[in-house]
Chains A and B, each alone.
Chain A
Amino acid sequence: MKIILKLQDNYDIQANLFSFVIHFGLFIFMLVSIQWQMKDVYYSEVELWDAMPMQVKSQPVANKKKSADIKKLTPKAIKKQKQLKINEDAEIKLKKKRKAEKKAKIKRVQKQALKQEKIEQLQKKLLEQEKIEQLQKKLLEQEKIKEIQKKLLEQEKLDKLKESILDQDVKKEVRIAVEADQELFAGSNTGELNKFKAMIQQKIYQNVNKQLCGLDLVELEFEIQLMPTGELLGEPKLTQSSKIESCDQALERAILQSQPLPVPKDAKLFSKLKNLKLKFSPNAYTE
């Protein structure tokens, strides 16, 4: 955090720009994803109509019966009947026309209503969608807040632990645990990794005999290769000597004595710990 704050002092504009770009990208991402989601919702939902459409009742076929009842009539009458008929036909036709028109009108209205409905539905859906997203957002935020609170609590606990401890050994454990915790916030798998690193560190520490390393602050480095059983593959390789032979040998013994080292069972995680560099400073924290 400190590093970043420092950066902030020097590269204010660049950082802000970068963060803006990222946020913008994420925003776009959000939009695109939402649309995709909308389509999905659209397909998966069943459309329900609120009001059933008006049924158009079919006209009874009465003309035929009527024509069946009519007896033989005079030509005038026939003409009249014909005229009547024509008139009737015309009327019927008109009526039909009107009915058809009416029908059409109704249909049109209904169609419009449908359209309206559809639009309303869509609008409703949009609204719901928005609501859901807002909810999701809220949930996410809440979760984030919870996580942050959790982390703060743990940080507090760790700080308290640090204060109340006098034993140097546990101080070391805490230091690594805190670092691991900070990495956990970063969100990657390094938490587990650091847990094993701390266990290995503790086990080897128990076997470090600093009496053979004189009084001065000396530093050593070894490189080791581990097998999944926790045992060493080959011998520890001394990459930085303390210049005191008995000290180099004592620390090599400490490493050998610590076998088998605690290693994770997960193959992927183990692969990260397969090759280790061990840095020693045996006379640090002298009494």
Chain B
Amino acid sequence: MLNHIHRFIFFITLITLSLSSHSIEVIEILGGKASQIPIAITPFNEEIRTMGQVTDKKNADLQKMHKVIANDLERSGLFTSLDTSGISTIPDSDILINFSNWSALQAQFLVVGKIITIQNRLITRWSLIDIYKEKTVLSMEFSGSKKQYRGIAHKISDLIYKKLTGSPGVFHTRITFVKKKSEKIYGLYVADYDGFNQRAIVNSSQPILSARWSPDGEKIAYVSFEKKKPVIYVQDLNTGKRVLVANFKGNNSAPAWSPDSKKLAIVLTYSANSQIYIINSDGSGIKQLMRTRSINTEPAWSPDGKEIFFSSDRGGNPQIYKVNVDGVSDVNRVTFEGKSNLSPSLSPDGKLLLFLTQDNGKFRVAVQNLLSNQVLKLTKGPHDESPVFSPNGHMVLFTYKDYGKTTKIGTVSINGLKVTPLRVGSEAIQESSWGPITSN
């Protein structure tokens, strides 16, 4: 009876309120979609000027500039580039844009550009246009040699990326990978992040492992078997000179740069199982991090330099643990899902752990949110390896292999939606690393 009475009162007050209220209606929209920004990147029209005259001979490479930009943005997993091949009149500047046409194609943004080539030089004028707001967002001009057309395109991609996502772009960065050309020919290569412009910096008849780019971008540390056992070298990228930093008795491997590029965490065995040590990047001042009966390997620094994550089989199957760098602290287990978890590394903001997980016999790349401990598997396997973050944390470089096939290299976007291979040749690829963002 009482309940009935109160419903009645509720009813009366509601009527009076709704009849008399002039308040603004509120709509709550919770959550969202992991969708991609549709962007149309039109071919950049080339205008060749020789001695002041305009000719018709077009440079095939420069026709690809817009495709380099489109591939960059697509690879990131945050953009989808629209096919502009069916459009008859391509604008080459932000004047006289037919916004309703582009809007009808579902484009949210438009990139237009023009290339003026004078002998070996080129000038690129381009604009980024917002279709909904009907205004130009960015408009710039770059000049360089014709050979640099890819670099210029990557720079344009970076600027578009930064403007629309707020994060720095990584399209100008470089990567390393090891190519196994045969049982007796190994090469350590440096290339553009998309696999182009590759060149070998080390050639060896013995295996090369664990190449790691220093955070300051100057050096690469790697493991070589040229002395018939694993030892660690640090090679200067500018000079090509290298220093043997670790040749202790037993194995020397798994070099991991500290965030300030001054130290390396390494793994030594001496006469026992793998243990983690910290050494200065010139090879001096060795200090043991810890010692147990089990395997402790694959050290990775947290971005604040305070913790080291590593893999260990102290619990039976390998799992990922972490420990403080200075002083004595507890070792805490980090991964709990999956039979085995290996190869840890941290995202630039320290929030995500990237690793390899064994799932139903398949090795897959996964990320774990270190706050919520939720795990997202990014790749399918069956033999994925060597996952490393891009310097903005939005992409992962990794090697993958199908049953009985050669290992290849590719990228996956951090949301797991976009997997794109890198075309670097038909040889087996192992052990990749990603270089830092440079301010050039």
Contact = CB atoms under 8 A, between A and B. Distances in A.
Interface of A: 1, 4-5, 7-8, 15-16, 18-19, 22, 168, 172, 183, 185-190, 193, 197, 200-201, 204-213, 215, 223, 244-247, 249-250, 253-254, 256-257, 272-273, 275-287
Contacts of B351: 215
Q: Is the interface of A mostly helix, strand, loop or mixed?
A: helix
Contacts of A200: 27
B32 A205 contact: yes
Interface in B21-41: 24-37
Contact of B27 (A5, A197, A272, A282): A197
A187 B11 CA distance: 7
Contacts of B25: 193, 197, 272-273, 275-277
Q: Is the interface of B mostly helix, strand, loop or mixed?
A: mixed
B381 to A, nearest CB: 20
B31 A284 contact: yes
Contacts of A253: 108, 132
B6 A8 contact: yes
A2 to B, nearest CB: 10
Contacts of A15: 5-6, 9
Given A186-B15, A253-B108, A208 B166 contact: no
Contacts of B14: 183, 186-188
Contact of A212 (B8, B27, B78): B78
A193 B25 CA distance: 9
A255 to B, nearest CB: 10
A209 B31 contact: no
A211 B369 contact: no
Contacts of B133: 256
B415 A208 contact: no
A188 B15 contact: yes
Nearest to B132: A256
A209 B35 contact: yes
6 contacts: A172-B30, A190-B18, A209-B35, A246-B166, A276-B27, A278-B27
Given A246-B165, A287-B374, A277 B33 contact: no
Interface residues of B, number: 43
B29 A205 contact: yes
A272 B19 CA distance: 11
Contacts of B164: 212, 246, 249
A209 B11 CA distance: 40
Contact of A279 (B6, B11, B12, B29): B29
A226 to B, nearest CB: 10
Given A15-B9, A187-B15, A211 B132 contact: no
Contacts of A213: 32
Contact of B32 (A16, A22, A209, A244): A209
B202 interface: no
Contacts of A168: 31
B10 A4 contact: yes
Nearest to B13: A186
Given A204-B27, A209-B32, A246-B164, 6 more contacts: A4-B10, A7-B6, A193-B25, A207-B35, A212-B78, A223-B24
A186 B10 contact: yes
Interface string B145-174: 000000000000000000011110000000
B87 interface: no
B390 to A, nearest CB: 15
A18 B35 CA distance: 55
A200 B230 CA distance: 63
A187 B164 CA distance: 47
A4 B6 CA distance: 6
A208 B7 contact: no
A250 B426 CA distance: 40
B104 interface: no
Nearest to A214: B166
A204 B32 CA distance: 9
A255 B206 CA distance: 59
B166 A245 contact: yes
Given A212-B165, A277-B27, A278-B27, A8 B33 contact: no
B6 A1 contact: yes
A248 to B, nearest CB: 10
Among B30, B35, B369, the most chain A Cβ lie within 10 Å of the Cβ of B30
Interface string B354-372: 0000000000000001001
A189 B18 contact: yes
Q: Which 4 A-B pairs have the closest CB atoms?
A: A210-B32, A208-B32, A246-B166, A282-B32
A285 B6 contact: no
B2 interface: yes
A4 B4 CA distance: 11
A143 B27 CA distance: 34
Nearest to A278: B27
A215 B369 contact: yes
B6 A211 contact: no
A39 to B, nearest CB: 30
Contacts of B3: 1, 5
A254 B108 CA distance: 10
A280 B30 CA distance: 6
Interface in B382-438: 415
A189 B9 CA distance: 18
Contacts of A281: 28-31
A245 to B, nearest CB: 5
B166 A279 contact: no
A209 B32 CA distance: 6
B30 A284 contact: yes
A105 B10 CA distance: 66
A254 B167 CA distance: 20
Contacts of B29: 201, 204-205, 208, 278-281
Interface string B180-208: 00000000000000000000000000000
Nearest to B37: A209
Contact of B9 (A18, A172, A247): A18
A19 B11 CA distance: 12
